[in-house]
């Protein structure tokens, strides 16, 4: 049974690949629309042998991580202040919860005029979209710090900065990472979308460029690269989380 | 004190708008309109049929996509949470592709399903599927074993246990994920329309940008903001109506 359990997902993925290949070779659809696996993997190989393609990956990663890092720095700070100060929370909470469901993507055309059509407008939009999950989760965490821990720290004469450093921040870290896990895929989504809408470089642009030249094989190869990046970044966040928060294992994480 | 606290964010908002308006009077770049101008253009656009046609076109894409994706997500997520073999088969594929931006599939969907609305509805459904699937799955898994035991003890059939125990305990998490997937459906709809569409709010903002019609840009922006906000309020209202027994979740 154990063996069967292990093998089942592989069987599922294997069957899907075989069906794909059979459909591609059946001649029912044009290979332009439905390329065989062989062609897709050849394009994928080109991706790693040509420096131009590696540069495209670098451009997209820099935009995603730059915006994410900015959002993390500002978001953690804002979240902790909002969680610990009622005044700041009353001031900013309605702002964040009111505009939470509004697609910030609609600001992109205006950002292009303000920050230019280059990387800056994309980084700014990634920052804005990533800020929400990080601030909301950090604030929720900082608000729910165990009272008993705060009282005992005060009782033992800890200063305000010591309480912040030794009690509030460690107690908030799991929530910060929960925010990160939402924000990292969002960063990838926003980078790809903005590059698809208005750009001349990056992976999102490569997808649109391949589509315009009806190179479905190359398009799928770029999609596989983007998928692998998204997966790897998520894994990296989980690894970092387990390193930093060794006292609390992430039990809701599967795979 | 409570009244003062409630009006604090309102005062802050008014202060920001006042500063913005004053800055506009002193001269801002052409692409930053003042709040008064934005309101005037928006009210003007409300009187035209064009705006409603675009709203309708956008909603006709995002709402079916949201409904299909959320329904499939909830159904398959509940199945994966209940049946072990199903979970083993499906979950690795779902969790593996979860952090992948689904919007990159849009060009491929456009080649497969045509450049019209079908490819856009399908990509929105795909994006909405994931959060609902994952929450439905965890919702089922979080069912308290003691409740299942006592139901079994009282002679409930598996179907009864699913309907009376598992479903109610998974419902709050499913409702929470609907909020996420509705917001997601608007984002993907807007992105898809910005990339390629002949109608809709995303297309409106792109055309406005290309022809330097800053007034139309802001009209589209304000409309999508209002739609997103209203949709979110509706889901939250449905949540508190349908699951009245549950304590309201924190933020």
pLDDT 10s digits, A192-209: 999 998 888 889 999 989
Judged by DSSP in three states, B34 sits in coil
Binary contact (A9, B8; C-beta < 8 A): no
Q: Best of B107, B112, B207, B214 to disrupt the A interface by mutation (most A CBs within 10 Å)?
A: B107
Same-domain check for residues A11 and A131? no
Tell me what pLDDT residue B250 has. Answer: 41
Is the residue at A196 inside a domain? yes
**Calpha distance A104→A112 (Å, rounded):** 13
Number of domains chain A contains:
2
Structural domain B33-241, CATH architecture: Orthogonal Bundle (1.10)
* DSSP letters spanning B198-221: SSSHHHHHHHHHHTT-HHHHHHHH
A21 within domain boundaries:
yes
- Asked whether residue A133 falls in the same domain as residue A23, the answer is no
pLDDT of residue A81: 92
A&B contacts, CB < 8 Å: 162
Asked if B234 has any chain A CB less than 8 Å from its own CB, the reply is: no
Q: Are residues A19 and A57 in the same domain?
A: no
Contact status, residue B181 vs residue B66, Cβ threshold 8 Å: yes
Is residue A210 in some structural domain?
yes
**Is the Cβ pair A204, B104 closer than 8 Å?**
yes
The pLDDT assigned to B2 comes to 56
Query: Mean pLDDT of all residues in chain A?
Result: 86
B128 touching A (Cβ < 8 Å): no
What is the C-alpha separation between A46 and B225, in angstroms, rounded?
Answer: 42
Say whether pLDDT at A159 is over 90. no
The pLDDT assigned to A5 comes to 67
* CA A244/CA A236 separation, integer angstroms: 12
In a domain, residue A27? The reply is yes
Tell me B247's DSSP state: P
Own/partner long-range contacts of B202-205 (Cβ < 8 Å, ≥24 apart): B202/A106, B202/B58, B203/B54, B204/B54, B205/A106, B205/A109
Option in B90, B100, B205 nearest A231 (CB): B100
Place A254 in a pLDDT band, splitting at 50, 70 and 90.
very low
What residue spans define the domains of chain B?
33-241
CB–CB contact B100 A185 (8 Å)? yes
Closest residue to B191, CB basis, from A34, A98, A105: A105
* Number of other residues whose CB lies within 10 A of the CB of residue A91: 17
Q: Is B2 on the interface with A (CB under 8 A)?
A: no
Same domain, A212 and A240: yes
Measured between beta carbons, the chain B residues lying within 8 angstroms of A211 are 107-108, 110-111
CA distance B87 to chain A (A): 9
Inter-chain contact A196–B179, Cβ cutoff 8 Å? no
In a domain, A254, yes or no: no
Residue with the bigger pLDDT between B115 and A82: it is: A82
Q: Tell me, yes or no, whether A135 and A220 share the same domain.
A: yes
Nearest CB to A12: which of B93, B194, B251?
A: B93
CB B116 within 8 A of CB B54: no
Percent of chain A with pLDDT over 70: 95
Q: Does B232 touch chain A (CB under 8 A)?
A: yes
Q: How confident is the model at residue A253 (pLDDT cuts 50, 70, 90)?
A: very low
Angle at A71 between CA A142 and CA A150, to 5 degrees: 15
pLDDT of A135: 93
Q: What is the DSSP letter of B102?
A: G
- A22 lies in the same domain as A66: no
In tens, the pLDDT along B223-250 reads 988 998 888 889 888 888 887 766 554 4
Dihedral (CA of A231, A233, A234, A235) sign: positive
Task: Looking at the structure, tell me whether residues A3 and A93 fall in a common domain.
Answer: no
With a cut of 60, say whether residue A121 has pLDDT above it: yes
Q: Note down the domain range covering A5.
A: 1-34
Residues A12 and A74 grouped into a single domain:
no
What is the interface pTM, i.e. ipTM, of the complex? 0.80
Tell me: the pLDDT tens digits for B53-110?
999 999 999 999 999 999 999 999 999 888 888 888 787 788 778 888 888 888 888 8
Instruction: Let me know whether A26 and A83 are in one domain.
Output: no
Does one domain contain both A117 and A5? no
* A213-222, B12-21, B22-31, B145-154: least confidently modelled range: B22-31
Please report whether residue A252 resides in a domain. Answer: no
3-state secondary structure chain A: CHHHHHHHHHHHHHHHHHHHHHHHHCCCCCCCCCCCHHHHHHHHHHHHHCHHHHHHHHHHHHHHHHHHHHHHHHHHHHHHHHHHCHHHHHHHHHHHHHHCCCCHHHHHHHHHHHHCCCHHHHHHHHHHHHHHHHHHHHHHHHHCCCHHHHHHHHHCCCCHHHHHHHHHHHHHHHHHHHHHHHHHHHHHHHHHHHHHHCCCCCHHHHHHHHHHCCCHHHHHHHHHHHHHHHHHHHHHHHHHHHHHCCCCCCCCCCC
Q: Are residues A141 and A71 in the same domain?
A: yes
Asked if residue A255 is part of any domain, the answer here is no
Angle made by CA atoms A191, B30, A74, in degrees to the nearest 5 = 40
pLDDT value of position B148: 85
pLDDT in tens, A71-114: 999 999 999 999 888 888 888 888 888 788 788 888 898 899 88
Taking contacts as CB-CB distances below 8 angstroms, the residues of chain A near B231 are 101
One-character DSSP codes across B125-159: HHHHHHHHHHHHHHHHHTS-HHHHHHHHHTT--HH
Q: Crossing angle for the helix pair A51-84 and A203-212, nearest 10 degrees?
A: 130
Q: Is residue A219 part of a domain?
A: yes
**Probe site for chain B from A31, A102, A221 (most B CB atoms < 10 A):** A102
Kindly state whether residues A12 and A68 are assigned to the same domain. Answer: no
Percent of chain A with pLDDT over 90: 24
pLDDT at residue B4 above 70?
no
| Residue found by looking up tokens 């190179």 in the block | A215
Q: What angle do CA B249, B250, B251 make, to 5 degrees?
A: 115
Q: Is there a contact between B104 and A103 if contact means CB atoms under 8 Å apart?
A: no
């Amino acid at each position: 049974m154990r063996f069967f359990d292990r093998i089942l997902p592989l069987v599922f993925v294997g069957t899907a690949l075989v069906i794909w290949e059979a459909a591609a070779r059946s001649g029912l659809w044009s290979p332009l629309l439905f390329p065989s696996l062989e062609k897709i993997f050849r394009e994928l190989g080109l991706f790693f042998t040509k420096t131009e393609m590696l540069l495209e990956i670098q451009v997209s990663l820099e935009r995603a991580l730059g915006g994410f890092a900015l959002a993390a720095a500002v978001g953690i700070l804002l979240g902790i202040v909002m969680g610990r100060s009622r005044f700041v929370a009353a001031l900013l909470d309605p702002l964040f919860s009111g505009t939470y469901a509004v697609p910030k993507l609609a600001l992109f055309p205006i950002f292009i005029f303000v920050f230019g059509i280059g990387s800056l407008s994309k980084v700014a939009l990634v920052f804005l979209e990533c800020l929400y999950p990080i601030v909301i989760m950090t604030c929720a965490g900082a608000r729910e710090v165990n009272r008993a821990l705060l009282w005992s720290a005060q009782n033992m004469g800890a200063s305000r900065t010591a309480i912040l450093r030794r009690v509030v921040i460690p107690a908030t870290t799991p929530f910060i990472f929960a925010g990160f896990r939402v924000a990292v895929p969002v960063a990838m989504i926003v980078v790809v979308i903005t590059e698809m809408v208005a750009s001349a470089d990056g992976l999102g642009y490569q997808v649109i460029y391949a589509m315009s030249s009806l190179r479905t094989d190359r398009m799928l190869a770029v999609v596989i690269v983007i998928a692998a990046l998204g997966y790897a970044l998520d894994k990296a966040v989980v690894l970092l989380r387990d390193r930093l928060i060794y006292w609390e294992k992430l039990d809701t994480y599967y795979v | 004190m409570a009244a003062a606290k409630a009006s604090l964010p309102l005062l802050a908002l008014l202060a920001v708008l006042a500063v913005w308006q004053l800055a506009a009077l002193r001269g801002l770049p052409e692409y930053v309109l003042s709040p008064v101008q934005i309101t005037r253009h928006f009210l003007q656009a409300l009187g035209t049929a064009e705006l409603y046609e675009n709203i309708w076109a956008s909603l006709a894409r995002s709402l079916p996509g949201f409904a299909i994706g959320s329904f499939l997500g909830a159904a398959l997520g509940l199945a994966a949470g209940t049946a072990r073999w199903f979970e083993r088969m499906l979950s690795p594929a779902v969790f593996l592709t979860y952090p992948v931006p689904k919007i990159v599939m849009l060009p491929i969907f456009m080649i497969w399903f045509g450049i019209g609305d079908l490819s856009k509805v399908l990509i929105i459904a795909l994006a909405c599927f994931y959060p609902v699937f994952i929450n439905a799955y965890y919702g089922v898994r979080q069912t308290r074993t003691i409740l299942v035991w006592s139901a079994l003890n009282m002679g409930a059939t598996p179907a009864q246990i699913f309907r009376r125990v598992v479903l109610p305990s998974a419902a709050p998490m499913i409702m929470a994920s609907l909020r996420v997937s509705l917001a997601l459906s608007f984002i993907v709809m807007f992105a898809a329309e910005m990339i390629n569409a002949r109608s809709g709010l995303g297309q409106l903002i792109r055309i406005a940008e290309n022809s330097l019609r800053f007034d139309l840009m802001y009209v589209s922006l304000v409309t999508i903001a209002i739609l997103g906000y209203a949709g979110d309020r509706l889901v939250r209202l449905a949540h508190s109506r349908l699951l009245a027994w549950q304590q309201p979740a924190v933020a």
